[in-house]
Amino acid sequence: MPTRIVSSSGLLLASLLVTCLPSRADWVMSATPGIVRPAPDQLQTQPQNPPSITWARHRTYPAQYVVEIQRKGGTTTSYTVSRNFILLAQPLEAGQYAWRVRPLSTVIDWSDWRGFIIDATSKQFVVPENGNIGTAILAHPRPRQLATSFQPASTWSAAMRADRGGALAKLTTEVNTRMISLAPVSNATFPTLSATAGAAAVSAQYALVSNTMGGVIRQLEAAALMYRLTLDKKYLQEAIARGDQIASLDPEGATSFASQDQVARMMSLVLAKGADLLWNELDAPRRKAWMDMAVLRARPIYNNLAVANGRLDQTPLDSHGIEALGYLSLISVLALGESPEAKVWLDFAVRSYAHLIHVWSGAEGGYSNGTAYAQYTIDMQMQVWQPLAQATGINLFEKPWAAGFASYFMQFTPPGTPSHVFGDVHEGVPDQALMKAFISRQKTPAAAWFVSNTVGEENPITLLQAPYPLPVAAVTTAAPPPNAMLFPSIGWVAMHSSMADRARTSVFFKSSPYGSYNHSHGDQNSIVINSGGRKLLTEAGYQDYFASPQAMSWYRTTKAHNAVTVDGGLGQPVAGTLELLDRKGRITAFRTSPTLDYAEGDALPAYNGLLTTALRKVWYLRGQDMVVVLDTLASATPRIFEWNLHAAAPITFTATNAAKIVNVDRSLCLQSLSTDGTALAKRLSPPSKAGTIEDHAAFVKPTAALKGEFLVVLDVGCKGIKSQLTQTATGRQLTVGTQTIVLP
């Protein structure tokens, strides 16, 4: 818990709040990729009030820090904390603020001041101090993970039966079927591998554990919930049988955290959930056995995360780590009062998790690793956030980042979208029922629009534990989200013809500060175009497994995306680890209007010295459903520049500088307006995924040069709208149908 000192001030220099840029290289800004960046900064308006404040650790790794927060024209408040972040437990008044930090052990080594703004758009989201969280948990009757208003199905109102009766019937069938078909598990199910076992044997064991335990873990929670809903003793006995099986498995064997971290954390959590759901029905020895095993299995999770006083505080870009922190948070909540360790874990994890969940974007929401992996994250969030909210009162669905995360899905996987976009598994089809479940916890007109326009049913386990009615049901008028949106911290832009139209055209543009790290690709300054539920300009390839030879030589590379390469496919580096965070792009401009959207990206660092200029400008002419792309390129040595394009249908050359793509009932015509001999050429690739069609081509410059420009007009629907490029006294202008664009 931070200690706080308040002093009268008002002496904060105005210049600190105006410039907000470091005047020197101060210690909170690490030059090492992957180290947490100081935030908030640069007088940015904060989506959340109070914001999370974070910084890189001091070189001396002090035990405590002093943080000063100063309001312009107001007071300075001083806090002492033991970790390199602070999340205040009370909101701030509207105004301009600055903050700085130093080690407690020195009075001179202050960081630079950094500024931020709290205004009427900053949504209050307060996480109580640890002591208050613990008090709230212990005051909640068991089951802690359920609302106190939770009712057996026999007492449901007619409206609730109409709303949730289908989910209950579905879960009933599932549990009854698995009572017969799901084999019991024991230590014999997973033979111990020898120390000399090869990679194939280890991989097979990993898959066996995952595939086998997933069903048993789900059956324990589902049967326990069915008992709470129906009070039928057969479900109680089924839950007990499955819980006893899980509790009997060797925590050091094939299901250990070291062997299979994802399954091990699920086993720990489900035992804690099962004990909580059936608290008064389990005999004391069995309840203790389950909870003790939950704690025993959670111990290595805590030990892994607690290294260096919380390793994620300093190096947060760890998907498994962040998810494990969420699991540990809920396990500690359910085990509080039953194990002294639970209190230690709660103090370590819960507020930290509330602070850290948005590491793959800024506070405005999004997910830099791509929509497929964002979707996978939802599954964990639904399992953890809902019971965490009931037990603690901390509803992470109300965190401003969660609202932005919901908007991210609406923009990049809207109803009717044919595939994921950007990053690993971009070729996959979105599970919109899962997205619908997450978005239904938002109380906005856009959420209501998405839910009403999306097919698929939520996992009955999460729906039947959710408060009734869902937050989205309180919205009286549904309305589609904006037709264009920028997510600045991840460098993604979405531009749509009309969000209200399921047959919409969608243009996606990416130039990301996260570079090609982790599940991201070397696709900075790339575009994707879909229309009418069909892929037109698409990303190529598929993931056979993470970072496979095929993925590294094709799928993740720049040449497999609608982006620029040189000299036969050379592009942005994708091999490496943390250094890939420096192979990045950024969105440098974005504007939207009813008739025209514009985005600009600078991907120069992504090319790692290959180029000296790498700018892409994208215009979307909404009224005419046309796209214009201008690339400005330069190199220190002469190079042949290439503008790659990929389709999920044949690419037909209609001229040396023009092509047509027809995907069933949707089409796209492309024309290069360059007059320097730029011509289309076919490109070969590794085999496509079975059952799919891909074709590849590129606009290629005729000779090597120090500079190059591509100007390409893309006509969605091949309407034949004419384009004309003319010189003016101050530059150039491009007329596309009825609209004119001024070019550099």
Reported as a single tens digit per residue, the pLDDT across 559-570 is: 999 999 999 999
Give the pLDDT of residue 3.
Answer: 60
How large is the average pLDDT for residues 608-634? 98
Per-residue confidence at 246, pLDDT binned at 50, 70, 90?
Answer: very high
pLDDT over threshold 50, residue 160: yes
Please list, in sequence order, all residues whose beta carbon lies within 8 angstroms of the beta carbon of residue 308, skipping any fewer than 6 positions away. 61, 314
Give the pLDDT of residue 4.
Answer: 56
> 443-476 pLDDT, tens per residue?
999 999 999 999 999 999 999 999 999 999 999 9
Q: CA-CA distances (angstroms) from residue 488 to 37, 80, 362, 375, 599?
A: 16, 32, 8, 20, 11
Q: For strand 695-700 and strand 95-103, is the pairing parallel, antiparallel, or unpaired?
A: unpaired
Residue 454: CB atoms within 10 A of its CB come to 21
Give the pLDDT of residue 202.
Answer: 86
Per-residue confidence at 22, pLDDT binned at 50, 70, 90?
Answer: very low
How large is the average pLDDT for residues 586-594? 98
Per-residue confidence at 688, pLDDT binned at 50, 70, 90?
Answer: confident
Structural element, H or E, at residue 382: helix 371-392
Looking at every residue in the chain, the average pLDDT score rounds to 95
How large is the average pLDDT for residues 676-701? 94
Report the distance separating Cα 350 and Cα 601, nearest Å: 37
pLDDT over threshold 80, residue 700: yes
Q: Which two tokens stand for residue 432?
A: 């919109």
pLDDT over threshold 50, residue 581: yes
pLDDT over threshold 90, residue 6: no
How large is the average pLDDT for residues 372-376? 97
Report the distance separating Cα 388 and Cα 291, nearest Å: 17
Report the distance separating Cα 715 and Cα 416, nearest Å: 21
How large is the average pLDDT for residues 34-56? 97
Measured between alpha carbons, how far apart are the two ends of the chain, in Å? 55
Q: For strand 44-45 and strand 114-118, is the pairing parallel, antiparallel, or unpaired?
A: parallel
How large is the average pLDDT for residues 61-74? 96
pTM of the model: 0.95
Per-residue confidence at 728, pLDDT binned at 50, 70, 90?
Answer: confident
Per-residue confidence at 191, pLDDT binned at 50, 70, 90?
Answer: confident
- In one letter, which amino acid is 701? K
**HSE, side-chain direction, 13 A CA sphere, residue 159:** 4
pLDDT over threshold 50, residue 291: yes
Burial of 63 (0-12, 13-18, 19+ CB in 10 A): exposed
pLDDT over threshold 80, residue 338: yes
| Residue 608 backbone class (left: φ over 0; alpha: ψ -120 to 50; beta: rest) | left
How large is the average pLDDT for residues 637-648? 98
pLDDT above 70 as % of the chain: 97
Per-residue confidence at 523, pLDDT binned at 50, 70, 90?
Answer: very high
pLDDT over threshold 60, residue 320: yes
**Omega prior to 469 cis, within 30 of 0:** yes
How large is the average pLDDT for residues 548-576? 97
Per-residue confidence at 1, pLDDT binned at 50, 70, 90?
Answer: low
Three-state DSSP state, 626: strand
Give the pLDDT of residue 729.
Answer: 84
